[in-house]
């Protein structure tokens, strides 16, 4: 796919919140490649860990790192001032931990999004791209899942993201904020943490574990490679048709977790069997059984197409996990 916006980012100043994370850092890399000046809002750490932005640090870098927290309205105002476009990816993620600390999810995801939207409105940004998640749909009632599918808060995490999405859209209706809600489906790839299913399977395989410990094997997911998701953000940032709208980013294909595991076992050449770990099972009413995207809006409105197929994406991810196995805790289950 030829991206019509490939050269349009030169000279623009953009803010990426959650920039040190999995998708955020990949988006920063793509923006730098396209010539943008990137302001990266990262969560403050007293030990100064730069994470996946470390290669952008140093004199002359087009990336300016700002430490802060999206819950801090004043700090958010400082970060947004002077930016052309804001990509809001900062969020408290991880479904299991949301059962333990739901209030923290509301504070970061809902209040944090309100702070971002208010700052964008105050400074008149050209576009705000707010990051949603396919988890807001819950178990599919109809497939493929289009953007008008009912929202089902099957976990405190998904409830907080529904609230965040509605907060962002309320600024479009009430204040004419130029916002688009970007809703990725199960992004995967290099840099993803062991809290996600693909890296947790691969880490166990590459560590030589003979029993792969997982939760439910029957749910299906629509896995999208991370560079495709990042390219979708850029395409939608210049798509006027998407203003005030929600847009899915998914491949339109699904695979069951059990079948995915078998494919990863075969791809790595390891000898292992799958064991269902009760500690990894979601509460019965919280498990999302099926996610399969309708990506018509992204394709028709923004010209976006996923380019990396699942087999190639899994190969790349497997190699990255093997090369960075020290980052993963194989024996401990991280919520």
pLDDT, tens digit (0-9, with 9 covering 90-100), for 138-189: 999 999 999 999 999 999 999 999 999 999 999 999 999 999 999 999 999 9
Query: Mean pLDDT, to the nearest integer, of 65-85?
Result: 97
The torsion region of residue 16 among left (phi > 0), alpha (psi -120 to 50) and beta comes to beta
Per-residue model confidence (pLDDT) at position 216: 84
Token digits of residue 329? 């805790």
Please state, in angstroms and rounded to a whole number, the distance separating the CA atoms of residues 27 and 287.
29
Please state, in angstroms and rounded to a whole number, the distance separating the CA atoms of residues 271 and 259.
16
Whole-number average pLDDT of the chain:
92
All structural domains of the chain with their residue ranges: 13-187+226-252+293-307
Element of type H or E holding 256: strand 255-256
Strand bridging mode 13-17 / 37-43: parallel
Q: What is the dihedral of CA 83, 88, 92, 95, to 10 degrees?
A: -170
Q: Is the pLDDT of residue 49 over 70?
A: no
157 is catalytic: yes
Please state, in angstroms and rounded to a whole number, the distance separating the CA atoms of residues 283 and 67.
36
Q: What is the dihedral of CA 70, 72, 73, 76, to 10 degrees?
A: -50
Per-residue model confidence (pLDDT) at position 2: 41
For the chain, give the longest Cα–Cα distance. 57
The pTM (predicted TM-score) of the whole model is 0.93
Of 329, 334, 330, the C-alpha closest to 279 is 334
φ/ψ of 10, rounded to 5, equals -60, 125
Q: In this predicted model, what pLDDT tens digit does every residue of 226-246 receive, in sequence order? A: 999 999 999 999 999 999 999
Q: In this predicted model, what pLDDT tens digit does every residue of 277-311 receive, in sequence order? A: 888 787 877 788 899 999 999 999 999 999 999 99
Which residues, in sequence order, are CB contacts of 331 under 8 Å at separation 6+?
none
- 13-187+226-252+293-307: CATH class: alpha beta
Is the CB of residue 138 less than 8 Å from the CB of residue 151?
yes
* Cα 280 from chain centre: 21
Query: Mean pLDDT, to the nearest integer, of 62-66?
Result: 96
Query: Mean pLDDT, to the nearest integer, of 89-99?
Result: 94
Query: Mean pLDDT, to the nearest integer, of 74-99?
Result: 96
Please state, in angstroms and rounded to a whole number, the distance separating the CA atoms of residues 43 and 294.
33
Q: Which of 105, 157, 171, 188 is catalytic?
A: 157
For residue 128, the cross-strand partners are 86, 179
φ/ψ of 13, rounded to 5, equals -100, 120
CA distances from 103 to 117, 133, 151, 175 (A): 20, 19, 20, 27
């Amino acid at each position: 796919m030829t991206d019509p916006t490939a050269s349009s980012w030169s000279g623009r100043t953009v803010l990426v919140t959650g920039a040190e994370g999995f998708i955020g850092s990949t988006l920063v890399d793509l923006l730098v490649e396209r010539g943008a000046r990137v302001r990266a809002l990262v969560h403050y750490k007293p030990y100064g860990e730069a994470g996946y932005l470390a290669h952008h640090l140093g004199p002359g870098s087009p990336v300016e790192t700002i430490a802060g927290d999206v819950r801090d309205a004043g700090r958010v105002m400082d970060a947004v001032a002077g930016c052309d476009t804001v990509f809001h990816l900062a969020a408290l993620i991880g479904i299991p931990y949301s059962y333990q600390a739901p209030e923290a999810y509301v504070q970061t995801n809902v209040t944090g999004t309100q702070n971002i939207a208010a700052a964008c409105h105050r400074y008149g940004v050209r576009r705000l791209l707010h990051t949603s998640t396919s988890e807001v749909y819950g178990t599919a009632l109809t497939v493929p899942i289009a953007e008008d599918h009912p929202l089902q808060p099957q976990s405190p995490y998904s409830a907080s993201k529904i609230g965040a999405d509605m907060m962002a859209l309320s600024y479009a209706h009430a204040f004419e904020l130029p916002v688009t809600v970007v809703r990725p489906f199960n992004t995967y790839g290099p840099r993803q943490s062991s809290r996600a299913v693909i890296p947790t399977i691969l880490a166990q395989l590459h560590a030589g574990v003979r029993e792969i410990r997982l939760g439910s094997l029957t749910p299906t997911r629509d896995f999208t490679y991370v560079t495709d998701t990042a390219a979708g953000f850029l395409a939608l940032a210049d798509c006027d048709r998407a203003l005030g709208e929600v847009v899915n980013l998914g491949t339109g294909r699904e695979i069951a977790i059990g079948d995915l595991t078998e494919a990863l076992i075969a791809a790595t050449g390891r000898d292992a069997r799958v064991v269902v770990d009760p500690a990894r099972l979601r509460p019965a009413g919280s498990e999302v059984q099926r996610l399969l995207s309708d990506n018509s809006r992204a394709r028709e409105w923004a010209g976006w197409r996923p380019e990396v197929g699942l087999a190639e994406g899994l190969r790349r991810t497997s190699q990255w996990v093997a090369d960075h196995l020290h980052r993963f805790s194989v024996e401990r289950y991280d919520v």
